[in-house]
Amino acid sequence: MTKIAVIDYGMGNLHSVSKALDEVSDKEKILVTSDPELIKSSDKIVLPGVGAIKGCLQAFSGELRNEVVEQIKNKPTLAICVGMQMLLENSEENGGVKCLNVLDGKVVKIPASEDIKIPHMGWNKVKFLSDHFLWNNIPDCSFFYFVHSYCCLSSSDAISETNHGNSFISSLGKENIFSVQFHPEKSQDLGLQLYKNFLDWRI
């Protein structure tokens, strides 16, 4: 049986994420866990995140952090919202913090203008920049649900973009890692399709 480890470091939208994965699961076992041994024995990893990045990185520490960083080197990994931001180089949130430097890009405050609201909250269009297995059965320029005040504006790993006053990177992909700024678990049928694609993803 394929085991999916949803990483519990006390800061993610764990119930909603695990419930959505369960809904599209066939034979997969969904494990919400902070146990390094269970993470090590899992087949795939989901790294969620909600809140301020400094608090997330502080909570995501020690043996748990070391094991996850090791395991995402070769296991299919889905990172969500602040989970995505943690994989980038650094963030200017909370006065500036170093991130995990797994993916190319920096996290900055969403550029302000009179025409937009911060945080960026609600449905917005995701425009594909490149093909990916996780886009299967999801049309280009589909709408997904966002909640964030910080974003990545450019990255060599970018695979989709979204506009909120300015264009920002709404998903990144590199080898076995797929990461999204939006929340699939809040994005109804297309969000569930993305989770199903992740469960079906083979690398």
The string of pLDDT tens digits covering residues 92-141 is 998 999 999 999 999 999 988 888 899 999 999 999 999 999 999 999 99
Strand partners, 29: 3
Torsion of CA 120, 124, 128, 131, to 10 degrees: 100
Domain 3-200 has CATH 1.10.730.10: no
Q: What is the average per-residue pLDDT within 153-171?
A: 96
Query: Is 81 one of the annotated active-site residues of the chain?
Result: yes
Whole-number pLDDT of residue 174: 95
Q: Which of 81, 99, 151, 152 is catalytic?
A: 81
Q: What is the average per-residue pLDDT within 9-18?
A: 88
The lowest-confidence range among 3-17, 34-48, 90-104 is 3-17
Q: Which helix (H) or strand (E) holds 42?
A: none
Output the six-digit token pair for 100.
């995990």
Asked whether the predicted pLDDT for residue 12 surpasses 80, the reply is no
Using one digit for the tens of pLDDT, what is the confidence trace for 54-64?
A: 999 998 889 99
Whole-number pLDDT of residue 1: 87
Is residue 126 within 8 A of residue 77, CB to CB? The reply is no
Asked whether the predicted pLDDT for residue 48 surpasses 90, the reply is yes
Whole-number pLDDT of residue 44: 98
Cα–Cα distance for residue pair 123/84, rounded to 1 Å:
18
Query: Is 185 one of the annotated active-site residues of the chain?
Result: yes
Whole-number pLDDT of residue 131: 96
Whole-number pLDDT of residue 116: 87
**How large a percentage of the chain has pLDDT more than 90?**
85
Query: Is 89 one of the annotated active-site residues of the chain?
Result: no
Strand partners, 37: none
Q: Quickly tell me which residue has 């299919």 as its tokens.
A: 76
Nearest to 151 by CA among 165, 141, 139: 165
